[in-house]
Structure 1
Amino acid sequence: MGGLTTPNQPVLLDPSQDKSLAYADHHTALTTALSTGKGAADMVAIDFGYVARFAEGNGLVDISKAPYNAGQFRNQFVAYTYPQAMTQDGRMVGMPTDIGPGAMFYRTDMLKKAGVSPALMNKSWESYIANGKKVVAANPGSFLIPDAGQAAQIIIRTGLKSGEGLFFDKSNNVLVDPKNPRFVRAFTIAKQIRDAKLDARAGGAFSPEWTTAFQKGNLATEFSGAWLVGHMQNWLAKDFSGKWASQQLPGNTFASWGGSFYGIPQQSQNKTEAWALIKYLTTNKAQQVLAFKTTGAFPALRSAANDPVFNEGVPYLNGQKARVLWRQAALKIQPLDVNRLDPIAEQIVNDALNSVLDGSKDITAALTEAKNLITRRAR
């Protein structure tokens, strides 16, 4: 990002910085710019997965302090967003702009063919697996889910105690442990899905295998953020319009798929103008609604999600008023404390999960090894 405009008149803060990069390239370039103190735009977009990493240094302005005082807007936003941008020492390095309330998307025709009601698919994780077997059996060549690991990711992110992060508590103690029921259940459910041959083993979202399974219409369900519908209707599954629907995640769980923030690099020479634009993009209801209409970015601003457009049916989902469900989910997602070592811990946990799914380790051994590895890295 770089070319900045205000609601009143365009102001190009630095034409040389007016660039847009692909997701990974953008964050890699931003990492370099913040660490070297040069090359960053006057304001930057940051995905949730990178917030903790960028917050570790002092490359971003603390917008909780004067003259920004971002805390004054906190009650206007979905509750879990502000903690995502806060560091352990109390700094706030980003202003939330969009969120990804989680949903289960399912093929209505596949469930109907199997005689399985949508309610049975999200009653519990056990019910999801049991009835998922029926759906796959009734639809030869299909898979219940792209990858078993997705179920584990949801379970890891739900049911946290107050003050807990995903992998560390407030005192930096490692939570990954073979005695922690959250991780044991996550690994257990994922292993059951894999052993029942219900997943396509497609790996992460947007992998070639994941994309192919979607485009061929081989998937019965998928878990993702509300933003996935935009991809489905535009290119991912455009031939299956009207056959997909949305409901809440299994087992009365609520999770978030990402979210975006705007921050101001310390090196910016136009901090006042950058903050004016950030305030406009994030706290202006009309602007947030416009962003949703044009890009599908679900607003972090609560008042924006109350716009009448959110009560309309979604054409791709056969007219279902799914945005109402997504709004309900957004209000129930619990805040997560972020830790600078989250990306490292997540990679270690994912590797441990893969060793369980491929049968090379049992759950206890995998989680014990993961705990030891994270503990060593956290010293």
Structure 2
Amino acid sequence: MNKVVRLAVMGALLAAAVPALSATPVTLTVASFPDLDRDIKVAIPLYKKIHPEVEIKLVSRERVDHVNAVTTQLASGTGLPDLVGLEIGFVGRFVASGGLEDLSKAPYNVGQYQSQVTGYSWAQAKGPNGDQYAIPVDIGPGTMFYRKDLMDKAGVSEADLNKSWESYLAAGKKVKAATGAYLVASPVDIKDIYIRSNLKNGEGIYFDKSGKVIVAGNPRFENAFKLAKEAQDAGIAGNIKQWTNDWAAGFQHDQIATQPIGAWLNGHLAHWLAPDEGGKWRATNLPQGAYASWGGSFYAIPAKSTHKTEAYEFLKFLTLNREQQLATFKEMDAFPSLKSAQDDPIMSEPLPYLGGQKAREMWREAAKHIPEIPINKNDGVAEDIINDQLDQVVHQNKDIKAALADAQADIERRARR
């Protein structure tokens, strides 16, 4: 079945199940950013078959510009889109702004759909009182991508990579000696995934439920800093920042042997970061049986949207419609948040870029174990401060406990503003 016919059949099935809202033409403005904007592009022709009276206007800006524009619009109450795409790192800020519609209350009552969505991602869009301000559209189960050819050359097995964090670093030393490649692009990569691993339900990354900073004296942060510094001192961590040209070059030129991150990296590697390296990469679970969330996207309705009813219907289509979730998954490899989409046979298909590995089954299982971590409006601030202190530890030999004590004080000070 070709793509045109498939879309037509899908649209007909959906149209039979969903009545039109109104015969009155409506134009919905959706604000998004790359690559999430591709989700909207996939959805538009399918949604038009159900609601021909609704036009979708997509306004896409680069991530930083998108965040700045939405921040200004919510603050001023002018120029607002009807629906806004959010990256996990900014959900807390926008929830705290008070500018988003509370979807847990009538007429939405989205709690009725909670059981249909991956639990930890649903929790990431809650406010401090348990109110729901956004619905997840895709998730990022944490995983470790690794170059199998480099591991083979160094005599390193997959078990060596994920048996323990200590074994992981020891494997990195072998890889560096045999191939010259870094185990990780940056010590930040180790810290990032470690501090997100194996949290308890309700435990935040930087803050507890009451908003108290939980950094200083926390073994989770101390161990993360210790492992990151050990990697730096051993010369197995580079100084390559994510989302830079150097990061892409590292994947393309055999400089990065592993990358602990969200499962979504498979699509990025295959389509634009390192498309010529297909077949060399594999994925495995994180070290020491750790489970972590890394990334994810959401949709929310601004409280002053002028088309809330129509925006809500489109939001549900994007996040709760199995066919749309699968269509987006096939287009951009964004792991679906909807559980029914995760049960599709596509999850058992071999991935050519990963040498035919059926990695999606592993990621689906990982998503079941990731704890529900609440967000805080100051998570982004805390992350910047932690990264600054880590830099002082790994490059200036600052004492770890002192660095975390300084980070705690700085986060507390910034959070009071």
Distance of 1:166 and 1:367 partners within structure 2: 14
Return the offset for 1:275. 0.5
Q: Does 1:281 align with 2:318?
A: yes
Q: Does 1:365 align with 2:392?
A: no
Q: Which amino acid aligns with 2:123?
A: P
**Does the 8 A contact of 1:217 with 1:237 survive in 2?**
no
Q: In the alignment, which residue of structure 2 is the partner of 1:239? A: 276
Distance of 2:362 and 2:63 partners within structure 1: 28
Q: In the alignment, which residue of structure 2 is the partner of 1:9? A: 51
* Structure 1 SS opposite 2:396: coil
Q: In the alignment, which residue of structure 1 is the partner of 2:106? A: 66
Q: In the alignment, which residue of structure 2 is the partner of 1:155? A: 194
Return the offset for 1:302. 0.7
Aligned residues: 374
Q: Does 1:199 align with 2:237?
A: yes
Deviations 1:138-181 (A, max 9, x none): 113x111111111111111123234221111112211010x210
Q: Which amino acid aligns with 2:50?
A: N
Cα RMSD after superposing both structures: 1.5
**Does the 8 A contact of 2:139 with 2:296 survive in 1?**
yes
Distance of 2:349 and 2:131 partners within structure 1: 38
Q: Which amino acid aligns with 1:184?
A: E
Q: In the alignment, which residue of structure 1 is the partner of 2:59? A: 19
Q: In the alignment, which residue of structure 2 is the partner of 1:329? A: 366
Q: Which amino acid aligns with 2:256?
A: L
**Does the 8 A contact of 2:185 with 2:256 survive in 1?**
yes
Q: Which amino acid aligns with 1:92?
A: Q
Moved more, 354-363 or 120-129: 354-363
Deviations 1:49-98 (A, max 9, x none): 11100011221100011111111010111110111000102221101110
Pairing 1:101-250 to 2, within 5 Å after superposition: 101-140=141-180, 142-177=181-216, 179-203=217-241, 205-250=242-287
Distance of 1:231 and 1:182 partners within structure 2: 29
**Does the 8 A contact of 2:191 with 2:224 survive in 1?**
yes
Distance of 2:166 and 2:118 partners within structure 1: 30
Q: Which amino acid aligns with 1:8?
A: I
2:347 to 290, 310, 322: 310
Percent identity (aligned): 47
Return the offset for 1:10. 3.6
Distance of 1:50 and 1:29 partners within structure 2: 13
**Does the 8 A contact of 1:6 with 1:280 survive in 2?**
no
Cα 1:6–1:278 change in 2 (3 A) is farther
Distance of 1:133 and 1:14 partners within structure 2: 52
Q: Which amino acid aligns with 1:225?
A: G
Return the offset for 1:12. 4.5
Cα 1:40–1:282 change in 2 (3 A) is same
Distance of 1:314 and 1:36 partners within structure 2: 46
Q: Which amino acid aligns with 1:161?
A: K
Cα 1:20–1:56 change in 2 (3 A) is same
Q: Which amino acid aligns with 2:29?
A: G
2:335 to 283, 291, 298: 298
* Structure 1 SS opposite 2:224: helix
Q: Which amino acid aligns with 1:107?
A: R
Distance of 2:56 and 2:276 partners within structure 1: 42
Distance of 1:372 and 1:169 partners within structure 2: 15
**Does the 8 A contact of 1:81 with 1:96 survive in 2?**
yes
| Unaligned stretches of 5+ residues in structure 2 | 1-27, 31-43
Distance of 1:134 and 1:296 partners within structure 2: 32
* TM-score normalised according to structure 2 size: 0.87
**Does the 8 A contact of 2:389 with 2:404 survive in 1?**
yes
Distance of 1:314 and 1:14 partners within structure 2: 33
Deviations 1:195-244 (A, max 9, x none): 000012102x2122212211212211111211111111122112211111
Distance of 1:288 and 1:87 partners within structure 2: 25
**Does the 8 A contact of 2:100 with 2:300 survive in 1?**
yes
Return the offset for 1:360. 4.3
Q: Does 1:37 align with 2:77?
A: yes
* Structure 2 SS opposite 1:258: strand
Distance of 2:305 and 2:332 partners within structure 1: 27
